[in-house]
Amino acid sequence: MRITKTVGQYMFGAGTIGALGDVLQEPKKNGATGVVYFVDHFFNGSDLLDRLPVGADDHVIFVDTTDEPTTDGVDAYVDQVKQQMDGNVAAVVGVGGGATLDTSKAVSNLLNNPGKAADYQGWDLLPNPGVFKVGIPTLSGTGAEGSRTSVMMNQEKNLKLGMNSDYTVFDRLVLDPDLTASVPRDQYFYTGMDTYIHCIESLAGSYKHAMADAYSHQALSLCRDVFLSDDMQSQENREKLMIASYMGGSAIGNSFVGVVHPFSAGLSMVFHTHHCVGNCIVMNAMDDFYATEVKEFRQMMERQDIPLPENVCGNLTNAQWQDLYDSTVVHEKPLINALGDDFKSILTPDRVREIFARM
Ligand code: NAD
Ligand code: ZN
């Protein structure tokens, strides 16, 4: 038997952000009246703010997404909300890409659970549901809008791990493709490719099953439409990618990733490379594991004329090579999914080094 938690309801279509006021009436029925908005700092000063129904009891917090979320950063936001809103929080709304959506999901959970963000990194550790949460993606690809995790760097433990729980799933989504029109081309491609990579990893793994596969196949088909077309950011393609992202998130919520994500996490721990560009850098070196898909990935990159950072692992010390190895093979679940229980006999330190050296 498989039990899957999905988003409660979602609104979809250009201009849907106008429905947010109605969406927020529901949680306000329980007594609290305030709403805290976590908005990507890109929108500070933009006219998107005028389209959010911010009232007198509400607070807007801009999330600096220069770096990916950390457990300490999330704890600081929780303290700020507690101080500013004094318990009067009916809903948490996240408006942004994966980093902002993850931040809002984690804060919502921590407002109703004791302790710190780091206490809940892992699987199914939260005792209580969070505050009603609404996700409004402005960048498509990570699937954070559909998934049951919120990924945070834990600097003390040198670990990047999610708060995986049914309680991490958004209660409502507002999927408005108008909001992704301003995304820079490279970012749009790198983040969109996260969906492609989630799906090919899920399909190639041993945990695959009909439900996850169905999401993956459909999301991949949409990704091909978008990234093999002439204008990946047309209105129609932005709509398609928004749906693909949600489906990719649902696919991965039902299965596991594979070899790409652990290597990308290695880059992230050692060089602070962002998740999506990191995945693309790794994908380009994955011929041994996903030969056909790597060819297609390169075709898409060429079609869209997107550059990749090169020689990212040049001139490393032995200690850095060791860190890269350790922070890659620590991701046992996806590596077992992709390569089996004995994955360390395939991913020996020399082999891992040789793969990183190609990037
Ligand atoms: P992001 O949220 O880090 O944002 C990337 C950049 O895009 C930022 O500079 C941001 O300001 C900008 N941006 C966002 N929307 C924009 C818009 N409409 N116009 C112009 N600029 C815009 O990017 P991401 O790739 O969506 O998310 C990466 C994060 O997602 C990582 O922290 C990763 O760990 C996380 N992630 C989470 C899940 C999950 O299931 N929870 C899955 C994969 C990745
Ligand atoms: Zn990913």
**Identity of the amino acid at 142:** T
Structure tokens at 27: 């949680």
Q: Is the CB of 145 under 6 A from ligand 1?
A: no
Ligand nearest the Cα atom of residue 139: 1
Q: Is 103 in the pocket of ligand 1 (CB under 6 A)?
A: no
What phi, psi does 153 have (nearest 5°)? -85, 135
Inter-helix orientation angle 291-304/275-283, to 10°: 120
Q: Please state, as a whole number, how many other Cβ atoms lie within 10 Å of the Cβ of residue 331.
A: 22
Residue nearest to atom 42 of ligand 1 (CA): 142
What pLDDT is attached to residue 252?
A: 84
Per-domain residue ranges of the chain: 9-180, 185-357
Quote the ligand 1 centre to 275 CA distance (angstroms): 9
Task: Output the residue whose Cα is nearest ligand 1's atom 25.
Answer: 191
Q: Which atom of ligand 1 is nearest to the CA of 179?
A: 18
Per-residue DSSP letters for 43-86?
GTTSTTGGGS---TT-EEEEE--SS--BHHHHHHHHHHHHHHHT
Element holding 36 (H helix, E strand): strand 35-40
- Say how many Å lie between the CA of residue 270 and the centre of ligand 2: 17
Task: Determine the pLDDT at residue 155.
Answer: 83
**Residue nearest to ligand 1 atom 16, measured at CA:** 183
Mutational pocket test of ligand 1: of 151, 260, 279, the residue with most ligand atoms within 8 Å of the beta carbon: 151
| Ligand 1 contact via 138 beta carbon (within 6 Å) | yes
**pLDDT at 255 (0 to 100):** 85
Which segments in the chain show pLDDT lower than 50?
Answer: none
CA distance 68 to 200: 24
Superfamily of domain 185-357: Dehydroquinate synthase-like - alpha domain (1.20.1090.10)
For ligand 1, the distance from its centroid to the CA atom of residue 97, given in whole angstroms, is 3
pLDDT on residue 355: 98
Q: Report how far apart the first and last C-alpha atoms of the chain are (Å, whole number).
A: 41
Q: Is 248 in the pocket of ligand 1 (CB under 6 A)?
A: no
How far, in Å, from the CA of 345 to the mean position of ligand 1? 34
Return the pLDDT at 208: 87
Is any atom of ligand 1 closer than 6 Å to the C-beta of 121?
A: no
Atom of ligand 1 at shortest range from CA of 253:
40
Of all protein residues, the one whose alpha carbon is nearest to atom 2 of ligand 1 is: 97
Residue 298, phi then psi, degrees to nearest 5: -65, -35
* Ligand 1 pocket member 277 (CB < 6 A): no
Taking CA atoms only, the protein residue closest to ligand 1 atom 28 is 98
Which architecture does CATH list for 9-180? Answer: 3-Layer(aba) Sandwich (3.40)
- pLDDT of the residue at 253: 80
The model carries a pTM of 0.97
Question: What per-residue confidence (pLDDT) applies to 5?
Answer: 86
Over pLDDT 90: what percentage of the chain? 92
Question: Does the beta carbon of 275 lie inside 6 Å of ligand 1?
Answer: yes
In degrees rounded to 5, what are phi and psi of residue 345? Answer: -80, -20
pLDDT at position 119 is 98
Ligand 1 proximity of 237 Cβ (cutoff 6 Å)? no
Distance 76 CA to ligand 1 centre (A): 20
Same fold, 9-180 and 185-357: no
Q: Within 10 Å of residue 93's Cβ, how many Cβ atoms?
A: 27
